[in-house]
């Protein structure tokens, strides 16, 4: 039994920890290769393949963590052996750790015949995020699990909106080839301001309203305006090379919105079809100017995680 889950881009500017999109650019797969009764719940990652397989550990692994949590919570005493295929670049802000956890929870729950509500599946997969980010957060796992667009509108208990916009927006995913610091997500979460002046909170809330309206109606201009953030991004941009310059250049070249993708250093750029080539070229020139290699991919919204075979 093998499950596939797509990468994601969380936050989209004003939607920190609450809004995410699943993207069809990259995916991970997790296969259950063996399972048997055991005196305690246990998960062994027996192999990790794929283009990014060497970049993830077998022990402190989000898929392992998520499934062990599910087995304990559901009181299932099994030893489960998993094989991972990592197709999502690691530590780039594309929800790589979340996708592995989602695919693992989906594959194991199907094999063991465990019925999970979507909130249960998302919260089990979110346990995996503790390994990579130091805290639980559910935006990336919700997007990988449900596909398309997700909005978390309550965190405890978890309540999730799944939105399939009436138009399929086109994004550019910009991956600067820079090395992220060790435990990057944990670091860039720790530097976010804990207190925010009221006027900034109000402006950010206005952007969040625009973001959700744009995603729900498919109004790309309003959506692009929602992709601004004055709270999290200003604190994080030191870890995102050339962010301000790239953002300014992309918007001048016709992009509708630009944001740091998840915890960075990748960016997500909303574009019109007819402007995509110009915007991509303008962004590439900025990085080349500074001698930073960059990969840029076009992305559309991805479907939910699913069983492959």
Q: Which of residues 108-147 bind ligand HSE (CB under 6 A)?
A: 133, 137, 139-140
- Tell me how far apart the alpha carbons of residues 47 and 84 are, in angstroms, rounded to a whole number: 6
What's the farthest any 2 CA atoms get from each other in the chain?
61
The order of strands in the sheet holding 257-260 is: 257-260, 267-271, 170-176, 294-299
Q: Which of these, 24, 28, 6, 306, lies nearest to 169 by C-alpha position?
A: 24
Q: Which residues contact 29 (CB under 8 A, 6 or more apart)?
A: 2, 3, 4, 5, 50, 84, 85, 87, 103, 308
Determine if 229 is a binding residue for ligand HSE (CB under 6 A). no
Number of residues located near ligand HSE, criterion CB under 6 A:
12
Determine if 240 is a binding residue for ligand HSE (CB under 6 A). no
- Tell me how far apart the alpha carbons of residues 19 and 13 are, in angstroms, rounded to a whole number: 9
CB of 7 to ligand HSE, least distance (A): 11
Given candidates 11, 14, 25, 123, which one binds ligand HSE under the rule CB under 6 A?
Answer: 11
Nearer to ligand HSE, 224 or 262 (CB): 262
Given candidates 2, 4, 189, 256, which one binds ligand HSE under the rule CB under 6 A?
Answer: 189
Nearer to ligand HSE, 17 or 230 (CB): 17
CB of 187 to ligand HSE, least distance (A): 10
Nearer to ligand HSE, 163 or 180 (CB): 180
- Tell me how far apart the alpha carbons of residues 101 and 93 are, in angstroms, rounded to a whole number: 15
CB of 42 to ligand HSE, least distance (A): 26
Task: Give the HSE-up count for residue 10: Cα atoms under 13 Å, Cβ half-sphere.
Answer: 26
Q: Give the footprint of ligand HSE on this chain (CB under 6 A).
A: 10-11, 16-17, 133, 137, 139-140, 185, 189, 262-263
């Amino acid at each position: 039994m093998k499950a596939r889950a797509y990468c994601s881009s969380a936050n989209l500017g004003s939607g920190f920890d609450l809004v995410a999109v699943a993207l069809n650019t990259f995916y991970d797969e997790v296969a259950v290769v063996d399972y048997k009764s055991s005196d305690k719940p246990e998960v062994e990652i027996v192999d990790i393949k794929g283009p990014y397989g060497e970049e993830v550990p077998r022990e402190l692994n989000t898929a392992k963590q998520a499934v062990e949590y599910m087995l304990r919570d559901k009181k299932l005493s099994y030893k489960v052996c998993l094989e991972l295929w990592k197709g999502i670049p690691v530590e780039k802000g594309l929800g790589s750790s979340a996708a592995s956890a989602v695919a693992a929870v989906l594959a194991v729950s199907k094999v063991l015949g465990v019925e999970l509500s979507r909130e249960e599946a998302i919260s089990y997969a979110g346990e995996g995020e503790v390994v990579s980010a130091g805290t639980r957060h559910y935006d990336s796992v919700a997007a990988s699990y449900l596909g398309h667009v997700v909005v978390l509108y309550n965190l405890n208990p978890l309540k999730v909106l799944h939105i399939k916009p009436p138009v399929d927006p086109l994004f550019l995913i910009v991956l600067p080839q820079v090395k992220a610091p060790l435990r990057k997500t944990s670091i860039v979460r720790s530097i976010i301001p804990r207190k925010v002046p009221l006027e900034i909170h109000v402006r950010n809330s206005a952007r969040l309203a625009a973001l959700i309206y744009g995603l729900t109606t498919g109004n790309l201009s309003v959506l692009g305006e929602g992709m601004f953030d004055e709270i999290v991004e200003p604190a994080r941009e030191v870890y995102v090379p050339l962010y301000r310059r790239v953002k300014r250049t992309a918007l001048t070249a016709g992009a509708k919105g630009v944001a740091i993708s998840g915890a960075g250093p990748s960016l997500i750029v909303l574009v019109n079809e007819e402007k995509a080539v110009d915007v991509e070229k303008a962004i590439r020139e900025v990085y080349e100017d500074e001698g930073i290699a960059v990969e840029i991919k076009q992305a559309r919204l991805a479907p939910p995680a699913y069983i492959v075979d």
